[in-house]
Amino acid sequence: SMIHHKPIIKIMASWHGNGEDATGMFLGSLGIVTAVGMFASPIPTMKRILEKQDIEDFDESPYVVSLTSTLLWVAYAVATPGRTAPLLTNLGGLILQAFYCAVFIIYSSGDAAIRVQRRVSQATAFVATACAIAATLPLAGVGDFLEKVECFTSVRPESHREGKS
């Protein structure tokens, strides 16, 4: 029976980096499970909105914030090699959050519709701006600067393993 689980364990290990780090794998796997639960938790609210075809008094803010968060996590995972778990987890979350925001846009009216569309546009523009700034940091030599600042280099795991503080 253990032979059948080895490919799954190898896949999970590749998602979480070092396959020998059982603590990291365990916590990372719990993080994935809880993230999926968090992304799916609005489903009853969405069902109600779809049935009534009205957002009623529901606030779109949590969905717009989650959309922003998943966009940033996807951008991070794409920009940082070896981040399969956050990429796949947040890509699924991004799809759900985009759907939730679309439901709010479709079933809101008047000022609420304008507000929802504006917030989603602002969130998207914020992430695009953050990505543009992040892309220019290496060109500006920020990485070299951060390497010289003790507070950034002292907390990296490699520093601890090498006995540096």
Distances, alpha carbon 82 to alpha carbons 16, 30, 112, in Å: 8, 19, 41
pLDDT digits (tens, 9 = 90+) for 84-136: 888 999 999 999 999 999 999 999 998 998 999 999 999 999 999 998 888 88
Decide: helix, strand or coil at residue 20.
coil
Taking only the tens place, the pLDDT of each residue in 54-81 is 999 999 999 999 999 999 999 988 888 8
Rounded to whole angstroms, the Cα distance separating 15 from 156 reads 19
CA distance 71 to 68: 5
Query: Are 85 and 28 in contact, with CB atoms under 8 Å apart?
Result: yes
pLDDT digits (tens, 9 = 90+) for 15-61: 555 555 778 788 888 888 999 999 999 999 999 999 999 999 999 99
* Residue scoring higher pLDDT (137 or 64): 64
Q: In 3D, which of 126, 121, 127, 30 has the Cα closest to residue 78? A: 127
DSSP string covering 36-92: HHHHHTTHHHHHHHHHHTS-TT--SHHHHHHHHHHHHHHHHHHHSTT-HHHHHHHHH
Predicted local distance difference test score (pLDDT) of residue 26 = 84
